[in-house]
Amino acid sequence: MALSEKDVQYVAKLARLEVTDQEVAKYTQQLANILEYVEQLNKLDTANVEPLTHPLDVKNVFREDKVQPSLTQQEVLSNGPEVQSGHFRVPKIM
């Protein structure tokens, strides 16, 4: 699976990372190397192997539906880069 610069551009966009042409070229090279290394996994036959998502076998961890204190509005907004009347402000979406 050869990785192209177009792939890297697509991925950068998906990941919301602004990249220069220079970076695209560099990342394409580096990611291709890493992916090539990863390809060795294909040497293993995993046709009948179940994927392992969690290292440990735990299930059904639930909590009670009991109200816990929230932060104050001031605490919520304290790290906000731009806040306005109790909200986080963001630039226009479209």
Partner 1 sequence: MELHQKTIHEVSADLKAKKLSSVELTKAVMDHLEKVEPKVQAFITITRDEAFKQAAEADKRLATGKDITALTGVPVGIKDLLCTKGVRTTCGSRMLENFVPPYNATVVEKLYSVGAVSVGKTNMDEYAMGSSTETSFYKKTKNPWNLNCVPGGSSGGSAACVSADQAFASLGSDTGGSIRQPAALCGIVGLKPTYGRVSRYGLIAFASSLDQIGPFGKDVEDCAIMMQVISGHDSKDSTSADIPVPDYLGEMRKSVKGLKVGIPKEFFPDGLNKEVSEAVKKAIEELKKQGAEIHEVSLPASPYALAVYYVLAPSEASSNLARYDGVRYGLRVPGENIMEMYSKTRAAGFGPEVKRRIMLGTYALSSGYYDAYYLKALKVRRLIKQDYDKAFEKVDVIATPTAPNPAFRFGEKTGDPLTMYLEDIFTVSINITGLPGLSVPCGMSKTELPIGLQLIGKAFDEATLLRTAYAYEQATEWHKQKPSLKEA
Partner 2 sequence: MEYEPVIGLEVHCELKTATKLFCGCRTTFGNEANTQVCPLCLGLPGTLPVMNQKAVEYAVKIGLALNCTIAKYSKMDRKNYYYPDLPKAYQISQYDKPLNYGGHLDIVTKEGTKRIGVTRAHLEEDAGKLVHAGGKAGRLDSSDYSLADYNRGGIPLVEIVSEPDLRSADEAYAYLTALKNILLYIDVSDCNMEEGSLRCDANVSIRPKGTEKFGTRTEIKNMNSFKFAKQAIEYEIKRQAALLDKGERVVQESRLWDVTENKTKTMRSKEEAHDYRYFPEPDLVPIILSEEYVQNIRKSLPELPSAKRARFVSQYGLSDYDGGVLTSEQVLADWFETGAKHTKNAKGLANWIMGDMAAKMKEQEKELKDLKFDQKKLCELVDLIEAGTINSKQAKEVFAEMFDLGVSPAEVVKSRGMAQVSDPKAIETAVDKVLAENPSVVADYKGGKQGVIGFLVGKVMQASQGKANPKLVNEILKKKLDA
- Site residues (vs partner 1, CB under 8 A): 1, 3, 7-8, 10-19, 23, 27, 30-31, 33-35, 37-38, 40-42, 44, 46, 49-56, 58, 61, 63, 71, 75, 78-82, 88, 90-94
* Helix 21-38 and helix 5-14, axial crossing angle in degrees, nearest 10: 100
Q: Taking CB within 5 to 8 Å according to partner kind, which of partner 1, partner 2, none is near residue 50?
A: partner 1
71 binds partner 2 (CB under 8 A): yes
Q: Taking CB within 5 to 8 Å according to partner kind, which of partner 2, partner 1, none is near residue 25?
A: none
Q: Could you tell me which residues come within 8 angstroms of residue 82 by beta carbon, excluding any fewer than 6 positions away? A: 88, 89, 90
Q: Could you tell me which residues come within 8 angstroms of residue 9 by beta carbon, excluding any fewer than 6 positions away? A: 19, 24
Say which residue the tokens 């919301």 belong to. Answer: 16
Which residues of the chain form contacts with partner 2 (CB under 8 A)? 13-14, 16, 53-54, 58-73, 76-77, 84-94
